[in-house]
Amino acid sequence: MLRPAENFRDLIARAGLEPKDIIDRAPISRSAYFGWLNPATQPHRRGDLRRSKAWGIARVYAAAAGVTDEDAFKVLFVEVPDDGAARGSEEAS
């Protein structure tokens, strides 16, 4: 499961980006972006981010920060184990 790096917001800001820039340029909705950053505000969501969305965010950051997409992905995101609380878990059936 992908989570934001601890300094995600600072990295975005240092690159001269605002949340609106990410939302406008990456394939991610406003509710998904803020729900991912603040999972407690949207308890019906798992709090993870699809890799395609993460790569979109990484590309926007990379262009602004002058780094490669791969380097952007590495600094912006942290892979954490899934806690098993997946919505619609097949194990429940």
Mean pLDDT of 22-26: 95
Rounded to two decimals, what is the model's pTM? 0.81
pLDDT tens for 33-85 read 988 888 777 777 666 788 999 999 999 999 999 999 999 999 999 998 876 55
What is the per-residue pLDDT for 39? 78
Thinking of the domain 2-80, which architecture would CATH place it in?
Answer: Orthogonal Bundle (1.10)
**Contact indicator for 53, 32 with CB cutoff of 8 Å:** yes
Residue ranges per domain, the chain?
2-80
User: Residue 32 and residue 38: Cα distance in Å, rounded?
Assistant: 10
What is the per-residue pLDDT for 22? 96
What is the per-residue pLDDT for 49? 81
